[in-house]
Structure 1
Amino acid sequence: ALQSVEEALKRLEELLQELHVSSTKTGKEHLEAACSDLERIRKLKKEAEFLEASFRAKAASLQQ
């Protein structure tokens, strides 16, 4: 599941780079918001990976 999130993030980043934003203030604000959202998603993904590893380690220690 996290791998598909990574693929979606890469695709979103590519789309943002290809986006031709008008020079209007609103267009720039939308792009900045999208980039901010992208960064938040990346941080959440890293947290999810950490939690997944932590749960796996805990499960392994309980099985012993």
Structure 2
Amino acid sequence: MFGQRNVDPNPGTHYRCERVSAVNGQYFFSTREGTLEGPYFTRVDAIHGIDAYINRMQVASALYALAGR
């Protein structure tokens, strides 16, 4: 997959992969920034956590943009 985020200086290739993983019965998801978020009790909770993480990042980006005015 070819894509570029606004903060990326150069175009890059991003490969889709499973973002949710299980470690010792707990679930985590990985981010583009290279962090591992969790733990969650179930895979469904981790998937909901992904949605919440995306929303937090979008709000933080919007606030950052407003502060830079």
Q: TM-score range by the shorter chain?
A: 0.3 to 0.5
Give the TM-score of the pair, scaled to structure 1: 0.46
TM, length-normalised to structure 2: 0.43
Tell me: higher relative CO, structure 1 or 2? Use CA pairs within 8 A at least 6 residues apart. Answer: 1
Structure of larger gyration radius = 1
